[in-house]
Structures are given as structure tokens and as C-alpha cells.
Amino acid sequence: MWEMAQAATSLIEENVLEWTKTDNRRLLHVVFRVGNLDKTIKFYTGCLGMKVLRKRDIPEDGYTNAFLGYGPEESHFSMELTYNYGVDNYEVGTGFGYFGIAVESLSKTIDLVKLKGGRVTQDPSQVKDGSTFIASVEDPDGYTCELIERGLTLEPLCQVMLRVGDLDRSIDFYRRAFGMELLWKRDNPEYRYTNAVMGYGPEDRNAVLVLTYNYGVREYSKGNGYAQIAVGTDNVYKTAEAIKICGGEIIREPGPLPGINTKITVCLDPDGWKTVFVDNIDFLKEQE
């Protein structure tokens, strides 16, 4: 009897994990806190060409959100900037890496950032493979934006990089629990780090998650600035079940949010990075 129960449980778990691969998922937005909302909006719109997609003030909870990006939220990855009343600075920490943004001309973008008083932390240079040119700038709150020179692209806001303590563990978790694909993995022994790019489709058409392992570094400080990534799903209840099966920590059980009734579930990955899964239909209703 016990063996039959175990076999039934294993079959259920296998079906749930298989479902994550076929669930209708994509990266919706990345959330981070800023000390001066107007100043940060001015940077991303004036220097990097984003548009303000929507803005909402929640006075009863003491914060304001602004959503920025390069296209409608129902089809594009975006940034959710959060300003908490009276808080003018945050600690970025050592774990957050950068936001990757594709631009048509690095030189023109860098010149514009300098003209508008932005901080350039790395001038345009060619990466080791010789096929890509990058540069880095800092936004007003100290978050790094890595600029990648590309032609016209469907998703200019294309990457979020986070550092992890065990790359193979993280790859396994994101594949099994989140249903992501490992798009590529590259070791850079000269600079003592390895990158793995995870996502829900080709990186020339979708935003991706870049996981970075620095040789010998197992833990990072997260600060209090970077918050989370939101991912769309057709079923937050099955999503939470899959995450639990894979050893992830659910910090908000699946269900509707008070007031707006959008169904979500919230989890932590093995390094403590937070992800919010949002019901796809409810997310589209929010846009309306």
C-alpha cells in the first residue's frame, strides 16, 4: 500500500513538473526601489529611450509605482519602479548585477548619457568573443545598466543579471521549478566567472535571466533596493506546487490579492532571490 502511494505521489509530481514546460510563461517585469521617482524616470526616458507605460499612487500604503519600457506590457518586458514615501536611497548590494538594454548605437547612447549628466562606468568595448560590443552606465540610484549594441530588436529591455552561489543548483531549479530553458552557458576563466542564460524563448525575441557564478563566492548581500521579477503563468496554484516539489520556498501562498483580485504566488530561489508569479488573465485585466 505504501509503495503504491509513493508511486502515485511520484507520478503526480512528475506531471506537475512536466506542466511547467508547457505553461504559458514569460517575464513580465522587474521590480526595484528608487529614491527619487521623477529623477529616475527622467534618466530612463531621456537617456535610454523608454516610455512611461503607467503610473499608480497607493497613498494608503505609502508608495508610488511607475512602469517603464519599450512597448505595451501585455507583450513586452518592463521595469516597475517603486518609490516609498520618505525613503530617498537604497543599498543595491553585491548580488544584483545589471539590467541589460539593447541599443542600436553604443556611441550615440553613451554621448547622450554624458550630455544629460549620467554616469558612464565602462566605455564601449568588445567582449571576448569579438561579436558583441557593450558599455555600462549607472542610473541615479546606482543600479548598473549594461548596454549591448544590437540592430533593431523586439525586446530592448533584454536581460536581468543576478549572482548565485552554485550555478548548477540554480540552473536545475529554474529548469525544473520555473520551466525555463538553459539557452547557453559560458565559462570565463580569465575573469573567474561563469554565466548561464535562462529564459522562455530565444534571447533575440525575449527577455532573459542571466545567472552569474563568481569563482569561490557562495553568498552575496542583496541590499534593499532590488525587489523581484514577475513571471506570467496560467495557474499560480500549480506553479506553487511545482516550486515546493523542487525545494523552493513559497513565501506567499497562491491566491488573489486583496482589492484587485489578481492571483499571485511568491517564492524564493535557492539563493533567496524573489519571484512573483502572476495569473496571465488577471494581469491583462490590470492593463485594462
The answer to whether 217 and 211 have CB atoms below 8 angstroms apart is no
Quote the pLDDT of residue 8.
Answer: 39
pLDDT for 238-281, tens place per residue? 999 999 999 999 999 999 998 788 999 999 999 999 999 999 99
Bridging pattern class, strands 226-233 and 26-33:
antiparallel
Alpha-carbon distance of 119 to 46, in angstroms, equals 14
> Which residues 6+ apart lie within 8 Å of 279 measured at CB?
232, 233, 234, 235, 236, 262, 263, 264
Q: State how far the Cα of 82 lies from the Cα of 226, in Å rounded to an integer.
A: 10
DSSP 3-state of 277: strand
Binding-site residue positions: 80, 146
Q: Which residues are annotated as a binding site for Zn(2+)?
A: 80, 146
* Domain spanning 16-286, CATH architecture: Roll (3.10)
pLDDT for res 39 = 96
Residues 6+ apart with CB under 8 A from 157: 50, 69, 70, 76, 77, 78, 79, 99, 100, 101, 207
Please state, in angstroms and rounded to a whole number, the distance separating the CA atoms of residues 171 and 176.
9
CA dist 80 and 257 (Å) reads 18
Residues 68-72: contacts with CB under 8 Å, at least 24 apart: 68/41, 68/44, 69/29, 69/157, 70/155, 70/156, 70/157, 72/287
Query: CA 90 to CA 104: how far, in whole Å?
Result: 31
pLDDT (tens place) for every residue of the chain, 288 residues total? 545 444 434 545 778 889 998 999 999 999 999 999 999 999 999 999 999 999 999 999 999 999 999 999 999 999 999 999 999 999 999 999 999 999 999 999 999 999 988 899 998 888 766 568 999 999 999 999 999 998 778 899 999 999 999 999 999 999 999 999 999 999 999 999 999 999 999 998 999 999 999 999 999 999 999 999 999 999 999 999 999 999 999 999 999 998 788 999 999 999 999 999 999 999 999 887
Strand-pair partners of 26: 232
Q: Domain-by-domain residue ranges, the chain?
A: 16-286
Of 77, 86, 100, nearest in space to 33 by CA: 86
The model's pLDDT over 162-203, given as tens digits with 9 standing for 90+, comes to: 999 999 999 999 999 999 999 999 999 999 999 999 999 999
Q: To which residue does cell 561579436 refer?
A: 131
Please report, for residues 3, 205, 226, 274, the alpha-carbon distance to residue 229 in angstroms, rounded to integers and kept in the order given.
39, 18, 9, 7
Note if 146 is an active site residue: yes
Active-site choice (146, 155, 203, 241): 146
User: In 16-27, which positions are buried (b, 16+ CB within 10 angstroms) versus exposed (e)?
Assistant: bbebbeebebbb
How many residues are there in the chain?
288
